[in-house]
Structure 1
Amino acid sequence: MGARGQGRPVAVIGAGAVGTSVASALARAGRPVTVCGASRRIERIEVTEDGSTETWPVAQATVPDDITGYDTAVLAVKAHQTDAAAAWLKAVSAPGTTVLVAQNGVEQRERVAPHTDGAYVVPAVVYLNAERTAPGRATLRRVGRWDLVLPDEAPARALAAELSAGLMRVGLEADFATVAWAKLLGNITANPLTALTGRRVDVLRDPGIGTVARLITDEAVRVARAEGAALSAAHAREVLAWLENAPEGATTSMLQDRIAGRPLEYDALTGAVVRAAERHGIDVPVNRLILALTSAIHPGQ
């Protein structure tokens, strides 16, 4: 295995909207990108932001053995697709390697642990609002202060420096649990409510939907505090205000998946809240209802 740094290839497992956006930053910083197992041939990735489009050439790995010896991987498949990516994760996982998990939720490390023996797993809180427009192509909208937040740990700092060199706005946070739960507040409102209504994020400006969003986040704050996150009702209000002022046309991954007839990522979001609530004996009736409704949507509907 070669030395870490500029010029070393990075494996991107899941070249959807987020994976393509993160890959573009690493490519801009000088890391050759290898896209893993895409269903169609991808020779370049393309990201459009504020009407300007940039492209970068990429390699494509067709079997997991193609990425053996890589020192960095980005896992950007949906949470419920993690087990399907197991062979790719195992191929790249070894002592000294880093796996950036760019997935929603608060259970990233627990989710990938069975497949990443020996690798250092860096969970990421993703704030990018990215929309896949074609294989290897994405439209990127940046919202808020950060694009990604990583835990303030040595391997994460090295990766953050590379991403920052590629113009990704990356924050490092010692209290990562609080940041992750704060982001989850947004995901458990915007994702299911857009998927269930068939509308983009601006649906949260409707008074009735806004009321449901407040009930969802109020329950989740109680659960987050029981899990050790330093959240309050004020955090929930900040998250909802941020969503209500999202850029025009902002969408969610769950809405995109429903439109495309793909399985929905409800278990890593609302499911995580319900599981944690059960551990602490907290009643979360609205989140249970949202979980029941989203789990009843089947691919293709």
Structure 2
Amino acid sequence: MSPGVTGRVTVAVVGMGAVGTALAGALAAAGHDVVACGRRPLSNIEVTEGDSTATYPVRWAAAPGEVGPVALTVLATKIHDTGGAAEWLAVLTSAGGSVLVAQNGVDQVERVGPLVGAAGEHHRGTDSAGAGSAGTVVPALVYVNAERVAPGVVRTRRSDRDLVVPGTDEAAPVADLLAGAGLAVERSADFATAAWRKMLTNVSANPITALTGRRVEVLAEQPVAELAMRVLREAVAVANAEGAQLTDADAHEVLTWLQTLAPGSTTSMLQDRDAGRPLEHDGLTGTIVRLGDRHGIDVGANRTLLSLLSAVSPGASATR
């Protein structure tokens, strides 16, 4: 996406789960040409927020060649499904364009960059001579609480921010487009710290809700809150060892924020466990454990959660 792009653009969404469908709905509502990429046919998506439900038309593409290069690609697969999106990313960004990485974790650029544009063609073993620019990878922290009710149907619970992106010139055109679609977009001058702060929500709320089978209200119960704080403090120590700027106050703020979410708010990992899908534990809790071991940090609470999550997660699949 070039600086200053305005008006209607084509946006390809790879990963039409809860987050992908919610973002697709906002973009379609703003008049953009939204392409739902994947095996499951979709001609419309339905988004419910509060008492209001709206339906938006989308185009469906079963293969990358049915779309070609686009101005913006939204990658909303789970971390462990990123490799399965490689062909989509290479084709959709073969003439440049931008990729909004709407995934969890703290390494979105490192994870997705090798799959984009000319780099993606090389990754696939394809001759990339004459290919377009490498494309722009824009990592995003997703705060929209989205619940997938059925294919192409989501319920959202919005707060004061929907997405956080880097406050860089490179990310500005994508941020402008998203804000123009009615999304509350925060531009962070210290995105690394912001990403680790979001990681705090993921490594506390996701594992605990998935293992208890309960929604975020469970985090308000005292024994569970105490466990969540141990998990959060370990993650803060790892984050700071990795160069972030977090304190114990951040751990308390994250837990307080989670405890004040709208009743019924869910997590992606709980939804995946309820649906019998592979869990994202390796990319979240597993990251804390691996980095904790690298830095010699005691991450016992996260290690226990990782063991339990590994035991309950179905075998990982190559595609979503």
TM-score by length of structure 2 reads 0.89
Tell me which residue corresponds to 1:135.
151
- State the identity %: 52
Specify the alignment match of 2:10 in structure 1.
Answer: 9
1:109 — aligned with what? Answer: 109
The unaligned stretches of length 5 or more in structure 2 are 120-133, 316-320
Shift of 1:167: 1.0
Distance 2:87 2:96 in 1: 18
Structure 1 residue 73 corresponds to structure 2 residue 73: yes
Aligned counterparts of 1:34 and 1:298: Cα–Cα separation in 2:
31
SS at match of 2:148: strand
The Cα offsets for residues 22-54 of structure 1, whole Å up to 9 and x where unpaired, read as 112222222100000142x21011111011011
Q: C-alpha distance in 2, partners of 1:268/1:124? A: 16
Equivalent pair of 1:24/1:166 in contact (CA under 8 Å): no
Q: Secondary structure in 1 aligned to 2:171?
A: helix
Q: Which runs of 4+ in 1 moved over 4 A?
A: 1-4
Indicate if the aligned counterparts of 1:204 and 1:243 stay in contact, CA closer than 8 A: yes
Look up the match of 1:217. Answer: 232
Q: CA RMSD in A?
A: 1.6
CA distance in 2, matches of 1:7, 1:166: 11
Matched ranges for 1:187-206 at <5 A: 187-206=202-221
For 1:133 and 1:270, the matched residues in 2 are separated by 26
| 1:155/1:29 CA distance change after superposition, 3 Å | farther
Asked if 2 retains the 8 angstrom alpha-carbon contact of 1:15 and 1:38, the reply is no
Tell me which of 223, 226, 240 is aligned to 1:208.
223
Letter in 1 for 2:25: S
Once the two structures are superposed, residues 151-181 of structure 1 have per-residue CA deviations (whole angstroms, 9 ceiling, x without a partner) of 0122321111111111110010010011111
1 CA distance for matches of 2:57 and 2:169? 30
Deviates further, 19-28 or 69-78: 19-28
Query: Is the 8 Å Cα contact of residues 98 and 155 (structure 1) preserved in structure 2?
Result: no
CA contact (8 A) 2:47 2:54 kept: yes
Retained in 1: the 8 A contact 2:5–2:173? no
| Number of equivalences | 298
8 Å Cα contact 1:14/1:38 also seen in 2: no
Q: 1:168 aligns with which of 158, 183, 189?
A: 183
Of 269, 274, 278, 1:254 maps to 269
Which of 298, 314, 318 is 1:283 aligned to?
298
Contact map agreement 1:29 1:162 (CA 8 A) in 2: no
Query: Tell me, what secondary structure is at the counterpart of 1:109?
Result: helix
> Residue type matched to 1:161 in 2?
D
Letter in 2 for 1:243: L
Task: Please state if 1:241 is matched with 2:256.
Answer: yes
> C-alpha distance in 2, partners of 1:128/1:233?
25
Deviation at 1:299, TM superposition (A): 2.2
Q: Which amino acid aligns with 2:239?
A: A
- Counterparts of 1:23 and 1:51, CA distance in 2: 20
